[in-house]
């Protein structure tokens, strides 16, 4: 799994919104929410039997303060996640 606080996330392009902070925007809450969501997603994938050793995720706060999670998977892992989602859809259960 990728450490969300690791600064080396190589394929990330420069985004000016990442360096401009606006007074009054609560970036910490957005980042914290994204950190929790990323960990929850990784735990859910592991519980579903997904091999999370190659999973990389990074939490961030967007320019408006909302949280976002960036997820990087190999092509094989993406196919596996897609199969898991289709199985859930067939069961008709989400949440």
Residue 26 domain-assigned (yes or no): yes
Average pLDDT over residues 71-85: 89
Write out the residue range of the structural domain in which residue 29 sits: 16-91
Average pLDDT over residues 5-33: 71
List, as own/partner pairs, every contact residues 25-33 make where C-beta atoms lie below 8 angstroms and the sequence separation is at least 24, other chains included.
25/63, 25/64, 25/65, 26/65, 27/61, 27/65, 28/61, 29/65, 29/67, 30/61, 30/62, 30/65, 30/66, 30/67, 30/68, 31/59, 31/60, 31/61, 31/67, 32/67, 33/67
- 16 falls in which pLDDT band (50, 70, 90)? low
Please give the mean pLDDT across all residues of the chain: 82
Residue 2 domain-assigned (yes or no): no
Whole-number pLDDT of residue 24: 85
Residue 1 domain-assigned (yes or no): no
Number of structural domains in the chain:
1
Residue 5 domain-assigned (yes or no): no
Residue 8 domain-assigned (yes or no): no
Whole-number pLDDT of residue 18: 62
Whole-number pLDDT of residue 94: 64
pLDDT at 5 over 60: no
Cα separations in angstroms, 85 against 45, 48, 61, 62, 68: 10, 10, 26, 26, 20
Residue 29 domain-assigned (yes or no): yes
Whole-number pLDDT of residue 22: 74
């Amino acid at each position: 799994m990728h450490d969300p606080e690791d600064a080396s996330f190589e394929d990330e392009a420069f985004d000016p919104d990442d360096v401009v902070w606006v007074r009054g925007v609560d970036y910490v809450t957005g980042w914290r929410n994204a950190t929790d969501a990323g960990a929850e997603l990784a735990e859910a994938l592991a519980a579903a039997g997904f091999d999370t050793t190659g999973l990389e995720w990074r939490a961030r706060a967007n320019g408006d303060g909302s949280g976002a999670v960036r997820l990087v998977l190999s092509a094989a892992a993406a196919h596996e996640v897609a199969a898991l989602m289709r199985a859930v859809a067939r069961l008709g259960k989400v949440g």
